[in-house]
């Protein structure tokens, strides 16, 4: 029997079971259309099949072997040091515990380690995304652009950006497959 210690760990490797886990986490929010969910699963599949060559990097947050959230990010083609943060998602049952903040800090530290300068995030202008925008704004991201009716009529796009070039992120990236998140920083 394995003892449960409720310690948050970070994993940076995509495994086969993550495809279904990513789907489950995204589905739990109730925010996304089926085609959007499939895009997240497709990115995980690309990362599983091609590794770093896919251009998609994943960070998973786990407690006692159960994946509770993930982040997906990658370099923006034809730029020098600009990265997209495609997804940060935490299972609905695990929200409000700081897991999203930890994933964001880990993502920023990883991008900085990869010589990234800026991180861009795209999200919806719909009211249900107000907490999402607030999450990023409270983490130092700034609104860089807004496009009305981008995703659909009445559903615009907000682009947020953060310059991490000169920022001390307070996270130590260790080259371990899995490490306790509470020992970082």
Query: For every one of its 185 residues, what pLDDT tens digit does the chain have, with 9 covering 90 and above?
Result: 344 678 999 999 999 999 999 999 999 988 888 999 999 999 999 999 999 999 999 999 999 999 999 999 999 999 999 999 999 999 999 999 999 999 999 999 999 999 999 999 999 999 999 999 999 999 999 999 999 999 999 999 999 999 998 766 554 444 334 443 433 33
Round to the nearest angstrom and report the end-to-end CA distance of the chain. 31
181-185, Cβ contacts within 8 angstroms, sequence gap of 24 or more:
181/7, 181/8, 181/9, 181/10, 181/61, 181/102, 181/106, 182/7, 182/8, 184/10, 184/106, 185/105
Tens-digit pLDDT profile for residues 29-55:
888 889 999 999 999 999 999 999 999
């Amino acid at each position: 029997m394995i003892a449960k210690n409720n310690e948050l760990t970070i994993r940076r490797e995509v495994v086969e079971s993550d495809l279904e886990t990513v789907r489950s986490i995204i589905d739990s929010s109730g925010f996304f259309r089926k085609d959007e969910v499939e895009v997240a699963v497709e990115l995980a599949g690309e990362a599983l099949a091609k590794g770093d060559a896919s251009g998609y990097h994943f960070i998973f947050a786990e407690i006692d072997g159960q994946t509770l959230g993930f982040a997906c990010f990658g370099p923006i083609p034809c730029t020098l040091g600009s990265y997209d943060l495609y997804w940060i998602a935490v299972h609905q049952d695990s929200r409000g515990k700081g897991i999203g903040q930890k994933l964001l800090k880990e993502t920023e530290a990883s991008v900085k380690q990869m010589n990234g300068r800026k991180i861009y995030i795209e999200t919806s202008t719909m009211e249900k995304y107000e907490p999402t925008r607030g999450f990023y704004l409270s983490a130092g991201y700034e609104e860089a652009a807004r496009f009305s009716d981008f995703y659909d009529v009445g559903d615009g796009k907000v682009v947020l950006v953060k310059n991490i070039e000169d920022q001390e992120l307070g996270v130590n990236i260790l080259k371990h497959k899995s490490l306790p998140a509470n020992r970082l920083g």
